Amino acid sequence: MSISFQVEATAGKARRGRLVTPHGEIQTPVFMPVGTLASVKGVPQDILEELGAQIILGNTYHLYLRPGVETVRNMGGLHGFMSWGRAILTDSGGFQVFSLSELRKLTEDGVTFRSHLDGSSHFFSPESAMEAQIGLGADIIMAFDECTEYPAEPERVRKSMELTLRWAGRSKKYFEQHKHAVPWNFSPQVSALSHQQTQIPRFARNDKQREDNDKQGEDEDKQREDNDKQRADEDRHVSRECASLRFAGRTKASVPTWSEQTQALFGIIQGGMDRGLRKESAERTIEIGFPGYAIGGLSVGEPRELTREIVESTLEHLPADKPRYLMGVGTPEEIVEYARLGVDMMDCVLPTRAARHGLLFTSEGKVSIKQARYAQDAGPLDPNCGCRVCQRYSRAYLRHLYASNEVLAQVLNTIHNLSFYLDTMQRVRHSISLGEKPRFLSGVRSQPRS
């Protein structure tokens, strides 16, 4: 099993669905917070759970460079490494290679690039991007694609789309041959998280114990830590043994049934801003066959109205019974609009990035918390928000934290913005369940407050 998806209610083109992954069930349409480096910047995992984040994103390019795929794999994959028991999706690394790295050299085989961190040279191909994503162990992983720049000549868009199609075929082939090597396939300790989502993995629990203990307890903890390390080494040894047995086509009685769970590989539709090419890309990607489809290559500088047009026309060519993921969008109004058009999954850095710049989305419009007008404002950031920030702190305090460059400003601002996005999506799901088209909700505005 990798994933299953059922549409449970529709309203116009909008769908409410249930996406079951190896690490829990996701109610769609869903907004996925971005956790670039195995961390949603500034927000601890227990608060993400409290906010109702059902699935988060990791970026393969960043994690491959730091801390490296092997490190994450040896910790049981991203779930074990970052102590997150719910679902995770990783991108293929393609988008960052094309947007962040320097000195790219593109061939049929793949892309040679230099790290934006230290200038070291690396190579990504469909095969190596799959190998990295299998090692990271997200529930949903993405085919390696070329994100076509905007604007681009028609001939260039076609060539790029054709390359993405060939890479999609290669991604799928490699994935099918290696999907059983996913790290949580072999680790009962981490796999158990999928059944007890809020349970803290053993390593993390010991970290907390260590913090709480006084000097007297430290020796005991050291012993326990050593035992854990030994046990982890044994786990890894058993894991590798199971893996090699499975690859040899043999089974072993002690291998439990959870070992059958694998990741799900999604295909990505490209084709620039050309509706005809988008249709062709969709049809030919569906022909290759994936359990879910993403619309990529948007939000690359094109006008917003064009993004919407391309999304709407591309959705017409995607199968109704598979999840549809729109990559890298958008504002609160836009995520409501895309859900209305029939998108099931979305991600965007906007709520987290804007929060770090003091830009906050509220039911009364966008708030720039740095403004002097909030210096004496004792009211909550958003009177209609139930998040822990709005329940506890005043605008004056949030403004002070931001103006003083306190780390807590980023933490609290990000918690509120994520809460706003996640609550918005929850309201969208609710309205679809009631048979209402998700419309421009009165509480969803991103214009500045008047």
Binding site for Zn ion (CB under 5 A): 385, 387, 389-390, 416, 419
The SS3 of residue 367 is strand
Contacts of 50 (CB under 8 A, 6+ apart): 388
Largest CA distance in the chain: 71
264 and 3 Cβ atoms separated by less than 8 Å: yes
Q: What is the DSSP string of 125-156?
A: -HHHHHHHHHHHT-SEEE-------SS--HHH
11 and 436 Cβ atoms separated by less than 8 Å: yes
145 annotated active-site: no
Contacts of 141 (CB under 8 A, 6+ apart): 89, 90, 92, 130, 133, 134, 175, 263, 264, 265, 266
Looking at the Cβ atoms of 129 and 387, the one nearer to Zn ion is 387
Looking at the Cβ atoms of 267 and 351, the one nearer to Zn ion is 351
Looking at the Cβ atoms of 318 and 398, the one nearer to Zn ion is 398
| Amino acid (one-letter) located at 221 | D
> How far apart are CB 95 and Zn ion at their closest, in Å?
30
Looking at the Cβ atoms of 97 and 390, the one nearer to Zn ion is 390
- Burial category of 253 from C-beta neighbours within 10 Å (exposed 0-12, middle 13-18, buried 19 and up): exposed
Q: Give, to the nearest 10 degrees, the angle between helix 407-433 and helix 332-341.
A: 30
46 annotated active-site: no
Within 278-386, strands assigned E span: 293-295, 324-326, 345-347, 359-362, 365-368
Looking at the Cβ atoms of 26 and 385, the one nearer to Zn ion is 385
**Across the strands, what pairs with 21?**
24
Cis peptide before 319 (omega within 30 of 0): no
Tokens 């679902």 -> residue: 87
Cβ atoms within 10 Å, residue 240: 11
Looking at the Cβ atoms of 179 and 416, the one nearer to Zn ion is 416
| Candidate list 344, 347, 382, 423, residue with the active-site label | 347
Looking at the Cβ atoms of 34 and 390, the one nearer to Zn ion is 390
| Candidate list 91, 139, 344, 423, residue with the active-site label | 91
Tell me the catalytic residues. Answer: 91, 347
